[in-house]
Amino acid sequence: MFKIPKSKIDMKKVLFFISLLIIGVNVNSQIAQTTIKFSETEHNFGTFKEEAGQQTFNFILSNTGTQPLVIQNVVASCGCTTPEWTKQPIPVGGKGKVTAIYDPRNRPGQFNKTLTVYTNTKPEATVLVIKGEVIPHEKTIEELFTYAVGGIRFESNHLAFTNIKKTEKKIRVMKLVNTSDSIIKVAFDGMPDYLTIKAVPEKLKPGEQGLVEGTIDATKNPNWGNVSSMLRVLLNGIPQENLYYYVSANLVEDFSSLSKAEIENSPVFKVASTTVDLGKIKGATQNDVEFKFANEGKRDLVIRYIRSSCGCTAVQQGNQGVGIKPGQSSSIKAVFNSGSYRGRVTKAIYVYTNDPKNSEVVLMLNADVEQQEVSK
């Protein structure tokens, strides 16, 4: 039997131990730690104007330890601050930097942000702070009045009234300005009976600011919930093509006069399920939908109004205005026309009642519409 000479066995042992020593050195170098010192850990930019743009400051650091210093990562507390840092290992006694770049655009007022610096030190994280105050820039006419109609600019193309009680009349205003070099008369066309919109003054001189004054009389609107109107803008009596002024409101019932006892003894609109899934249906078909509900309250429940989110869903208004006695059940029926829809479809039905705790309920209907493939 062949035997390995002893000299060869010893050489293998030597090589093995040398390998272990090399690995040990590599491991130690990977976990080697050092110490760090910043010249300062907080910087105040003071007060500056927004239009001054990005503000930059360098935090200087020193390697005060006995091993190379590595900045592994820097994380800013928000997207308004961009960090940069020395990427190469910093030798013993050497210096590096962490740069904080703050963007004040659209961020007026005071700020206080942090940058967390991760290094091969113990502790591994150092928190740097930047702060200051941004003076907002003076907005231009175009920024203040964003909707342009000819020589007139409006603050917006949408006058939103938000919630209006069905028993009240509400007024909202919006600024406008004449940016032309001539007098312009401003008017609106297409107003429904419950809405009045006018410019004050009616005629604006060049450079003059005025108001759009809108008045909604909710008692004259038979609908409930979200209502809206698109009005055509007239300048000097001339309709402006494809330019409209949008007015919206949410009409709600007035429960403010109810006492605590009246609220506790009020009707309760309880739906068995607020969602109906029709499953797979064919396109261009009529599909019946039914939502069952009951009055679990102590007084008659009245369905004020029912509307759907699109014309594809026709709601039967049989329950509207009819008192439903306590304990009595009923249902809301609708017909969904799948038309040219394809795939997953979701539609909403809005129900408005005299239940003070649940006066607006959203019912959802879902369907997977399959269109018949047309043979070529």
Q: What is the pLDDT of residue 375?
A: 60
Whether the CB-CB separation of 36 and 128 falls below 8 Å is answered with no
User: What is the pLDDT averaged over residues 290-313?
Assistant: 91
Q: Which structural domains are found in the chain, ordered by start?
A: 36-135 (2.60.40.10), 141-252 (2.60.40.10), 260-370 (2.60.40.10)
Q: CA 335, 341, 343: angle at the middle one, nearest 5?
A: 110
Encode pLDDT of 145-161 as tens digits. 999 999 999 999 999 99
Is pTM beyond 0.85? Reply is no
What local confidence, expressed as pLDDT, does residue 12 receive?
Answer: 55
pLDDT for position 169: 95
* Model pLDDT, residue 372: 82
Q: How far is CA 217 from CA 63, 124, 168, 192, 230, in A?
A: 73, 65, 6, 11, 17
The pair of structure tokens assigned to 300 is 């008659």
pLDDT digits (tens, 9 = 90+) for 102-126: 999 989 999 999 999 999 998 899 9
> In this predicted model, what pLDDT tens digit does every residue of 219-228 receive, in sequence order?
999 889 899 9
Residue 67 pairs with which residues in a beta bridge? Answer: none
Q: How far apart are CA 180 and CA 146, in angstroms?
A: 15
- Please state the rounded mean pLDDT for residues 91-97: 95
The span from the CA of 44 to the CA of 27, in Å, is 41
Closest CA to 283 of 337, 347, 335, 334: 337
